[in-house]
Amino acid sequence: MITRRRFVRRAAALATAAGLKLPVWEFPVPEGAVRGSAAEAGNERPLLLGADYYPDQTPEKLWEEDARMIAEAGLTNVRVAEFAWGLMEPSEGKFDFAWLKRSVEILNKRGIAVILGTPSAAPPPWLSSKYPEILLVNKDGATVSPGGRRFTCPTNRTYRRLSLGMATEMAKTFANTPGVIGWQIDNEYTLQPHARCYCKFCREGFQDWLKAKYGSLEKVNEKWGTVFWSQTYSDWRQIPVPLPSNGDPNPGLVLDYDRYQSYACASSAEEQLAMLRRECPKHFVTTNQVGAPLDTLNLREMYRNMDFVSSDNYPGFAEVFMPAPASPEVMATMIGLGHDSMRCVKGGKPFLIMEEQAGKAGQSFFAPQPHPGQLRLWAFQAVAHGAMGVNYFRWDSARFGAEEYWFGMLNHDRSKSIGFDEMVRTVKELKSLGREGLESGFVAETAVSFDHDSSWALAVQPGNSKLRYMAQLMAWYGSVASANTGTDVIHLDEDLANYKAVFAPVQYVVSEKQAENIRSYVRGGGTFVAGFRLGVKDESSQIVNAPLPGLLRDVMGVTVRDPVPVYTEKIAVKFGPQLAGADAQCALWADLLQPESATVMATYAGLYEGDAAITMNAFGQGKAVYVGADLEPVSLARVLRTVLAMSGSTAAIETPRGVEVTRRRGGEKEWLFVLNHTPQEQKVHLAGKFSAVVGNGPTNQTLTLPAYDLAVLQRA
Ligand code: GLA
Ligand code: ZN
């Protein structure tokens, strides 16, 4: 598991690697309504192009002015109250929603729709003082202090009861309030740095969860191999949580603990969801999250019964923590991976950017103002990757609190920020795509696996101390996405049939179900491309009882003769004619491959002369490629792009580095998004005739995009 900060640090070291229409939620739209306006559906279903707004932090005398300005800026909605527990329940059981009602009324009068946040991410001091048992215990066994946010245990019944009680009062109060259209449950369950709780309530919750999962202690003991170090459990209550214990914990226990913590968050959200379904049947329900590069939760579990996914997007945050300036294509790739990962949580259904960077961003220190054009570019990039709406974070800038330096659309003195006009323009342009454009499907010919089990299992046993799942995912995703074929970020037990090629970096854990799914995908004609450390472990985090790559040996047509971590003594890789290119060096890992039925595409030199480094196997109608060597990004990109071309993918569009192209499709219509993430003018060759929906169209099949500019095109 990684933190946002650790991830971006690492990502800098990573190199510059290179239609279906789905209903969102149903509301009747009155005839003749102005498209995209809040009035369109009697205030029920505007396009979601708005801002995060804090009446709780703003003197009431300014609320009218805020509402007027928000409406004048063309915004259609706000999200409010997700941190206002203290004002809504000033003491236990005493609720006060009058102020929020007044605020919603003022907003509604201006036609601004409201998404309400349930405030469980920040319980007030009366609560944490009276019930200190709700506090999270971190991985060192220390109880975290209240005073920040997300300092709570996800299992604790008191915390969950009070959170649900609070949310229920809120839901009853606002179920029929004009202007309220939906709910955000809690706020960023993925938030770091304490993504796991190790308290006694979690320990008991874990034990109960294990009981439900395994049924018997014999099974737990067997699946974890507890005979090692005398860990055999004879009572459920003996099972510990992975706190420091002078020796690494059992890998099976840790993997199950990660799953349990993910489940605890999801089930806590689910309690609020069930209540909201009952109390507010007319409203949509979602929760906001940070997607990849965070891996702390299984988001498919979290969003299973919600209406759509929401995510928070702060591209500038990367720049704050990068030790060296990130190249535009690395930045674009990082953000793109986040969007693609969130879109695919609900099978490609359009998602919402609940928070989008509006200016300088940071807490103790802050990133520079996004360059002119980037606030527009980043919002369009989200939409290009499947978002249906964008809320800028935040409307104003707080003059107090930990986020004084997170700049909103207004400055601290309430003047318009330097990016204000650009955001207003962006919202107007996004509206011009209409509901059909914003809620269309995303076109993807390729997929990359993002597997929590592998990520979590590898985190406790990386093999090479420098090996990180997320860095590998980034490098592979970057290589594939730069072909502009559209890339889904999937789980390997999902339907793969529609992809020309599926890529799986360090798929360390492979379940039988996944192996079977991959087998039938390749048999049916798909191209499966796996990285080193494939199929080392089963779902219990035990090492497979077969030569590697374990369950996938027949599909890959190879055996791993030996898995080798690489430190100072580098191993050279020589490419065969299919991959032609300069020799490369393994960075962190070398799986020494012995082909059984596969052909060799690259070999090791020197110490491991004679072992294959990359192989390709014909299996059924398809192909399976094993990349056994950890290649530096330029070579990796070349290899993956060559294999992609062999897979029969036709969608690739060549673009200069830092320029990306995506497609969305709905019915007969297709929108082509072309985004220039670089500070220079770029030219893109586009075969065929296009007209521009946003920005300028191509002349003589060449689209010229100034720095940070973009175009949305349709075939003429
Ligand atoms: C997060 C949170 C917000 C706010 C912003 C800016 O994503 O959801 O409450 O803290 O980031 O830091
Ligand atoms: Zn706990």
pLDDT tens for 552-598 read 999 999 999 999 999 988 899 999 999 989 999 999 999 999 999 99
189 CB less than 6 Å from ligand 1? Answer: no
471 Cβ neighbours under 8 A, 6+ residues apart: 10, 11, 13, 14
**Spatial contact of 464 and 566, defined as CB atoms under 8 Å apart:** yes
Mean pLDDT of 385-404: 97
The pLDDT confidence band at residue 294, using thresholds 50, 70 and 90, is: confident
Q: Of the ligands numbered here, which is closest to the C-alpha atom of 408?
A: 1
pLDDT for 494 equals 98
**Spatial contact of 480 and 473, defined as CB atoms under 8 Å apart:** no
Q: Give the residue, by CA position, lying nearest to ligand 1 atom 10.
A: 403
pLDDT of residue 5 exceeding 70, the answer is no
pLDDT of residue 11 exceeding 80, the answer is no
Which of 33-42, 69-78, 422-431, 445-454 is predicted least confidently?
Answer: 33-42
Q: How far apart are CA 54 and CA 41, in angstroms?
A: 25
pLDDT for 396 equals 98
* Listed residues: CB within 5 A of ion ligand 2: 153, 155, 197, 199, 201-202
The pLDDT confidence band at residue 407, using thresholds 50, 70 and 90, is: very high
The tokens of 598 are what? 């596969």
**Spatial contact of 568 and 607, defined as CB atoms under 8 Å apart:** no
Mean pLDDT of 83-104: 98
Q: How far apart are CA 485 and CA 500, in angstroms?
A: 10
188 CB less than 6 Å from ligand 1? Answer: yes
Q: Give the residue, by CA position, lying nearest to ligand 1 atom 6.
A: 406
7 CB less than 6 Å from ligand 1? Answer: no
246 Cβ neighbours under 8 A, 6+ residues apart: none
**Spatial contact of 676 and 703, defined as CB atoms under 8 Å apart:** no
pLDDT for 394 equals 97
pLDDT of residue 38 exceeding 50, the answer is no
pLDDT for 643 equals 97
403 CB less than 6 Å from ligand 1? Answer: yes
The pLDDT confidence band at residue 323, using thresholds 50, 70 and 90, is: low
pLDDT for 291 equals 76
Q: Of the ligands numbered here, which is closest to the C-alpha atom of 291?
A: 1
pLDDT of residue 18 exceeding 50, the answer is no
494 CB less than 6 Å from ligand 1? Answer: no
pLDDT for 363 equals 86
54 CB less than 6 Å from ligand 1? Answer: no
For residue 600, the SS3 value is: strand
Q: How far apart are CA 295 and CA 301, in angstroms?
A: 13
Q: What's the pLDDT tens digit per position in 116-156? A: 999 999 999 999 999 999 999 999 999 999 999 999 999 99
Mutate to test the pocket of ligand 1, among 313, 393, 405 (most ligand atoms within 8 A of CB): 393
Residue 363 CA, closest ligand 1 atom number: 12
pLDDT of residue 206 exceeding 90, the answer is yes
Mutate to test the pocket of ligand 1, among 311, 355, 363, 405 (most ligand atoms within 8 A of CB): 355
Q: How far is the CA of 198 from the centre of ligand 1 (A)?
A: 24
638 Cβ neighbours under 8 A, 6+ residues apart: 18, 579, 581
Mean pLDDT of 308-326: 82
Percent of the chain with pLDDT over 90: 87
Mutate to test the pocket of ligand 1, among 52, 54, 185, 312 (most ligand atoms within 8 A of CB): 312
Q: How far is the CA of 621 from the centre of ligand 2 (A)?
A: 50
Which of 6-20, 38-52, 362-376 is predicted least confidently?
Answer: 6-20
82 CB less than 6 Å from ligand 1? Answer: no
406 CB less than 6 Å from ligand 1? Answer: yes
Residue 403 CA, closest ligand 1 atom number: 12
Q: How far is the CA of 351 from the centre of ligand 1 (A)?
A: 18
Mean pLDDT of 429-433: 97
Mean pLDDT of 448-469: 97
> For residues 618-649, b (16+ Cβ closer than 10 Å) or e, as one string?
ebeebbbbbbbbbbbbbbbbbbbbbbbeebeb
Q: What's the pLDDT tens digit per position in 598-627? A: 999 999 998 899 999 999 999 999 999 999
pLDDT of residue 32 exceeding 60, the answer is no
**Spatial contact of 33 and 44, defined as CB atoms under 8 Å apart:** no
Residue 187 CA, closest ligand 1 atom number: 8
